[in-house]
Structures are given as C-alpha cells and as structure tokens.
C-alpha cells in the first residue's frame, strides 16, 4: 500500500491509499480518483516540498511552528541563517570602506562640487567621500572625474 497526498482542481487536499504507484497511475488515468470534498475527478498528486533537515514543514497556518523554545528558534535560524561567506564579504566591505574613508574628507552632499574642484585643480588634491545624486554622478562621469561608488554595507539597506 502506498499513500499519496492529493489535491483537486479546487484546491482541496486529501490523502488516499493505493495498492502501488502503478495503481495510482491507472486510477488517475481512468479518472477514478474523486475529491471527497467536492466530487471533482480532476485530482492529482500534490507536490511535496523536500524536507529540510529531515523534517518536513507542516503545511499548517503560518506561524504555527513559532514558539519561544531554543529548539525551534534554532530551526528558524537555519532557514534565515546568513551565509558564512556573507559575513566574510561584509567584513571585507567594511575594511574596504574604512580604507577608502580613513584618508578622505567627508563632504556630505557637496561631493560632486568638491570632486569637480579637485578634478580641475582648483583645490589641493585630496581624498573625499560624500553623497551625490544619480544625476550628479552621471555628470561627473561625463566630465571624466574619477570616483567610485562607496559600497553600502548590507545592514545599511534596511
Ligand atoms: Zn475538491
């Protein structure tokens, strides 16, 4: 005997026993599988999500599995756990930003203005960083001013 999770074309889910998978195929082809809720014969096997960590997620209402215990907390973390490579990446980004900014003056939203002054040798060359609008950045690029977007840290995007 083999048990299948089935659903009909109206979304009713139910289970049914078959002698074998071939038996299921035969009855399915013959339209003999009937939804017990609505009588529909448009019934097919439900797609089963692969079980993660050897334990299938219940298809119950959302939040059902949420509890304050350490165990289930750990389980939730598994799904949302940051990729360890991401942490390395974030550290590298931080380091990159630090290097870029440690010898540079923060000029805020006057970045485009200051960058131009430096580019046209109106002031002593120095490293600066600050904010520029997309239009300003485009204008600077068109004028051949060299600058780089400072990569945002992942947590800054929240
Ligand atoms: Zn149904």
Helix (H) or strand (E) holding 140: helix 134-143
**Which stretches within 30-83 are classed as H helix?**
70-80
By the 8 A CB rule, do 35 and 43 touch? yes
Q: Which two tokens stand for residue 59?
A: 């298809």
Q: How far is the CA of 46 from the centre of ligand 1 (A)?
A: 13
**Ligand 1 centroid – CA 5 distance (Å):** 13
**Entry field: residues in the chain:** 158
What is the spatial distance between Cα 16 and Cα 148, in angstroms, rounded to a whole number? Answer: 62
* pLDDT tens, position by position, 90-120: 788 788 778 778 888 888 889 889 999 988 9
Q: How far apart are CA 35 and CA 4, in angstroms?
A: 13
C-alpha of residue 34 to centroid of ligand 1, in Å: 8
CA of 28 to the centre of ligand 1 (A): 15
CA 20 to ligand 1 centroid distance, Å: 23
Distance (Å) from CA 128 to ligand 1 centroid: 66
pLDDT in tens, 36-87: 999 999 999 886 655 555 444 444 455 545 444 444 444 444 455 556 677 7
The band of 10, judged by pLDDT with boundaries at 50, 70 and 90, is very high
Q: What is the pLDDT of residue 12?
A: 92
Higher pLDDT among residues 93 and 29, named by residue: 29
pLDDT at 154: 64
The per-residue pLDDT for 149 is: 73
Least confident of 9-23, 37-51, 136-150: 37-51
Beta strands in the chain (DSSP E): 2-8, 13-18, 43-45, 104-108, 127-130
CA of 33 to the centre of ligand 1 (A): 11
Quote the ligand 1 centre to 41 CA distance (angstroms). 8
**Residue 42: per-residue pLDDT:** 92
How many angstroms is it from 113 CA to the middle of ligand 1? 67
d(Cα 26, Cα 24) in Å, to the nearest integer? 5
């Amino acid at each position: 005997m083999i048990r299948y999770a089935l659903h009909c074309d109206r979304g009713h889910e139910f289970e049914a026993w078959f002698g074998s998978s071939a038996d299921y195929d035969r009855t399915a082809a013959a339209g003999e599988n009937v939804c017990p809720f609505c009588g529909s014969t448009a019934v097919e096997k439900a797609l089963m999500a692969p079980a993660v960590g050897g334990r299938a997620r219940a298809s119950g209402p959302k939040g059902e599995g949420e509890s304050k215990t350490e165990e289930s907390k750990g389980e939730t973390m598994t799904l949302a756990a940051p990729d360890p490579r991401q942490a390395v990446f974030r550290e590298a980004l931080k380091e990159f930003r630090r290097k870029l900014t440690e010898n540079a003056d923060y000029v805020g939203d006057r970045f485009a203005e200051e960058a131009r002054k430096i580019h046209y040798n109106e002031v002593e060359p120095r490293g600066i960083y600050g904010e520029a609008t997309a239009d300003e950045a485009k204008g600077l690029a068109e004028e051949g001013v060299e600058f780089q977007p400072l990569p945002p840290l992942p947590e800054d995007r929240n």
